[in-house]
Amino acid sequence: MKRDIAQQLEGYQDVLQLVQAAETLGEDFSSERGAVAAYLNRLHPARLSLRVSHIQMETPSTKTFRMVPVDGVLPPFQAGQYVALQVEVNGIRTNRPLSIASSPSQTGYYDLTVKRVPGGLVSNYLLDTIQVGDHLASSAPDGSFVYNPLLHGRRLVFIAGGSGITPFMSMIREVSDRGLDRHITLVYGNRSEDDIIYHDELTVMAARLANLTYVPVVEQPGPAYTGEKGFMTGALIEKAAGNLNGAMVYLCGPSGMYDFCLAELQARGVTARRIRREMFGPPVNVSRSPGWPAGIEEDDHFTVSIVDGPTISARAGTPLLNTFEEAGLAPPSQCRSGECSMCRVRVMKGRVFQPAGVPLRQSDHRLGYVHGCVSYPVEDLEILMEARR
Amino acid sequence: METYDAVIIGAGNAGLTAGAALAQGGAKVVVLERHTIPGGCATSFCRGRFEFEVALHQLSGIGTPEKPGPLRMVLDQLGVMEHLTFMPMSDLYHVMIPGKLDILLEPDRARTTATLKHHFPDEAEGIDAFFDLVYRVFGEVIGAFYFKDPDVHRDKYPLYFQYGLKPLQAVLDDHFRDPLLKTALTPYWTYMGLPPSQLSFIDMAAMLFAYIEFLPFHLQGGSQALSTALADRIVQCGGRIRYNCPVARILVENGRVTGVATAEGETIRARQVVSNASKIATYVDMLAPDQVPAAVWGELKRTSISPSAFTLYLGLDQPPEALGISSSTNFILGHTDADMAYARMKDRDIDHRDGMMMTCYTLIDPTFSPPGTSQVALITLKFGDAWLQVPPAQYAAEKYRVADAMLQQAEQVFPGLRTHIEEMEIATPITHMRYLGTPRGAIYGFEKHIKDSPVFLPNQMHIEGLFLAGGWVGGNGFQPTLESGFKTGQAVLRRLEMHQ
Ligand SMILES: Cc1cc2nc3c(=O)[nH]c(=O)nc-3n(C[C@H](O)[C@H](O)[C@H](O)COP(=O)(O)OP(=O)(O)OC[C@H]3O[C@@H](n4cnc5c(N)ncnc54)[C@H](O)[C@@H]3O)c2cc1C
Ligand SMILES: Cc1cc2nc3c(=O)[nH]c(=O)nc-3n(C[C@H](O)[C@H](O)[C@H](O)COP(=O)(O)OP(=O)(O)OC[C@H]3O[C@@H](n4cnc5c(N)ncnc54)[C@H](O)[C@@H]3O)c2cc1C
Ligand code: FES
Does residue B207 form part of some domain? yes
**Which structural domain, as residue segments, surrounds residue B322?**
307-439
Do A373 and A313 fall within a single domain?
Answer: yes
CB B492 within 8 Å of CB B25: no
- The SS3 of residue B154 is coil
pLDDT in tens, A300-354: 999 999 999 999 999 999 999 999 999 998 889 999 999 999 999 999 999 999 9
pLDDT of A6 reads 83
Amino acid at A288: R
The Cα–Cα gap between B304 and B194 comes to 12
For residues A187-215, average pLDDT: 97
Q: How many whole angstroms separate alpha carbon B74 and alpha carbon B13?
A: 12
Closest residue on chain A to B44 (Cα):
A361
Per-residue pLDDT tens for B352-384? 999 999 999 999 999 999 999 999 999 999 999
The CA distance from B128 to B95, in Å, is 20
Query: Are A372 and A271 within one domain?
Result: no
In this model, does residue B10 exceed pLDDT 70? yes
Mean pLDDT, chain B, as a whole number? Answer: 96
Which of helix, strand or coil describes residue A59?
strand
A354 touching chain B per CB within 8 A: no
The CATH number of the domain holding residue B452 is: 3.50.50.60
Instruction: Name the residue of chain B whose CA is nearest to A30's CA.
Output: B284
How sure is the predictor about A1, in pLDDT bands with cuts at 50, 70 and 90? low
Residue after which a domain boundary falls, among A223, A246, A279 = A279
pLDDT given at position B433:
95
Q: Is residue A16 part of a domain?
A: no
Tell me, what's the pLDDT at B26? 96
Is B92 domain-assigned? no
Find the helix packing angle between A199-208 and A166-178, rounded to 10°.
30
Could you count the other beta carbons within 10 Å of the beta carbon of residue A352? 24
Q: What is the CATH number of the domain that holds A200?
A: 3.40.50.80
Q: Ligand 2, residues B52, B274, B276: which to mutate, most atoms within 8 A of Cβ? A: B276
CB contact under 8 A, A26 and B454: no
Q: What is the mean pLDDT of residues A355-382?
A: 95
Closest CB to A23: pick one of B161, B298, B437. Answer: B298
Asked whether residue A37 is domain-assigned, the answer is no
How far the first Cα of chain A sits from its last, in Å, is 45
Same domain for B465 and B376: no
In a domain, A327, yes or no: yes
The length of chain B in residues reads: 500
Domain range spanning residue A97? 43-138
What ipTM goes with this model? 0.95
pLDDT of B1 above 80: no
Does A76 touch chain B if contact means CB atoms closer than 8 Å? Answer: yes
**CA B188 – CA A209 distance, rounded (Å):** 53
DSSP sequence for A199-210: HHHHHHHHHH-T
* Lowest-confidence pick of A55-69, A129-143, A271-285: A271-285
| Domain finish residue from B439, B455, B489 | B439
State whether B404 and B325 are in the same domain.
Answer: yes
Query: Quick one: pLDDT at residue A356?
Result: 86
Do both A133 and A49 map to the same domain?
Answer: yes
Three state DSSP letters for B239-250: CEEEECCCEEEE
If asked whether residues A274 and A305 sit together in one domain, one would say: no
Q: What is the number of the ligand closest to the CA of A195?
A: 1
- Which of A252, A279, A306 is where one domain is finished? A279
Asked if residue A3 has pLDDT above 90, the reply is no
Of A244, A279, A314, the one marking the end of a domain is A279
A182 and A218 housed in the same domain: yes
Ligand nearest, relative to CA of residue A361:
3
Q: Say whether pLDDT at B396 is over 70.
A: yes
Report the number of distinct structural domains present in chain B: 3
Q: Tell me, yes or no, whether B82 and B227 share the same domain.
A: yes
Residues A49 and A123 reside in one and the same domain: yes
Helices (H), A130-219: 166-178, 199-208
The last residue of one of the domains, among B214, B236, B254, is: B214
| Domain shared by B276 and B247, yes or no | yes
Higher per-residue confidence, A256 vs B270: B270
Q: What is the CATH number of the domain that holds A76?
A: 2.40.30.10
A105 touches B at CB < 8 Å: no
**Which ligand does the CA of B477 lie closest to?**
2
Does the C-beta of B308 come closer than 6 Å to ligand 2?
Answer: no
Q: Please, are residues B91 and B105 in contact by the beta-carbon 8 Å criterion?
A: yes
The count of domains in chain A is 3
My answer on whether A302 and A378 are in the same domain is yes
Q: What pLDDT digit, counting tens, does each position of A124-147 carry?
A: 999 999 999 999 999 999 999 999
- Residue A335 to residue B282: CA distance in whole angstroms: 31
Question: Could you report how far apart the first and last alpha carbons of chain B are, in Å?
Answer: 22
Residues A295 and A275 in one domain: no
Residues B409-421: what's their mean pLDDT? 95
CATH, residue A365: 3.10.20.30
Helical segments of B176-293, H only: 179-185, 201-214, 222-236, 279-280
Domain assignment present for A53: yes
CA distance A11 to chain B (A): 6
A57/B contact by beta carbon, under 8 A: no
Judge: A339–B46 Cβ closer than 8 Å, yes or no: yes
- What mean pLDDT is predicted for residues B32-59? 97
Alpha carbon of A213: minimum distance to chain B alpha carbons (Å): 26
- Indicate the pLDDT class of residue A279, thresholds 50, 70 and 90: confident
Residues B329 and B414 in one domain: yes
Q: Which residues of A fall within a CB distance of 8 Å from B235?
A: 384
- Residue B297 and residue B332 in one domain: no
Indicate if A162 and A128 belong to the same structural domain.
no
Burial B104-127 (b: 16+ CB within 10 A, else e): bbbbebeebbebbbeebeebeebb
Cβ neighbours for A348, distance < 8 A, ≥ 6 positions apart: A307, A368, A382, A383, A384
Same domain, A261 and A372: no
Q: How far apart are CA A343 and CA A212, in angstroms?
A: 38
For range B333-350, the mean pLDDT: 97
pLDDT digits (tens, 9 = 90+) for A83-125: 999 999 999 999 999 999 999 999 999 999 999 999 999 999 9
pLDDT tens, residue by residue, A312-321: 999 999 999 9
Which protein residue's CA is at the shortest distance from atom 34 of ligand 1? A120
Q: How far apart are CA B472 and CA B463, in angstroms?
A: 17
| Whether residue B330 is found in the same domain as residue B402 | yes
Would the CB of B273 count as within 6 Å of ligand 2? Answer: no
Q: E strands of B23-121, at which residues?
A: 29-32, 44-47, 50-53, 86-88, 93-97, 101-105
B41 pLDDT above the threshold of 60: yes
Residues A210, A267 within the same domain? yes
Residue A164 CB–ligand 1 contact under 6 Å: no
Q: Is A22's CB within 8 Å of B439's CB? A: no
Residue A255 lies in a domain: yes
- Note whether B227 and B127 are same-domain residues: no
Q: Find how far residue B352's CA is from the centre of its chain.
A: 25
Global pTM? 0.95
Is B93 among the domain residues? no
pLDDT at B500: 66
The nearest alpha carbon in chain A to B442 belongs to A36
User: Shortest CA distance to A221 belongs to which of A197, A253, A191, A198?
Assistant: A191
A336 lines ligand 1 (CB under 6 A): yes
Shared domain for B161 and B228, answered yes or no, is: no
Domain boundary, last residue among B418, B439, B460? B439
CA B2–ligand 3 middle distance (angstroms): 29
Q: Are residues A192 and A263 in the same domain?
A: yes
Do B386 and B296 fall within a single domain? no
Mean pLDDT of chain A: 95
A6 within domain boundaries: no
Dump pLDDT digits (tens) for B295-308.
999 999 999 999 99
H/E stretch holding B436 = helix B429-436
A389 vs A367: CA distance, rounded Å: 23
Q: Which residues contact B382 (CB under 8 A, 6 or more apart)?
A: B307, B308, B309, B310, B345, B347, B348, B428, B429
Are residue B163 and residue B68 in the same domain, yes or no? no
Is the Cβ of A6 closer than 8 Å to some Cβ of chain B? yes
Q: Does B96 reside within a domain?
A: no
- The pLDDT tens digits for B229-270 are 999 999 999 999 999 999 999 999 999 999 999 999 999 999
Task: Please indicate, yes or no, if residue B100 is contained in any of the structural domains.
Answer: no
Q: Is B261 in the same domain as B342?
A: no
Least confident of A46-55, A156-165, B143-152, B248-257: B143-152
Inter-chain CB proximity B301 and A34 less than 8 Å: no
Q: Stretch A208-217: mean pLDDT, rounded? A: 97
The answer as to whether A175 is a domain residue is yes
Q: What is the CATH number of the domain that holds B366?
A: 3.30.519
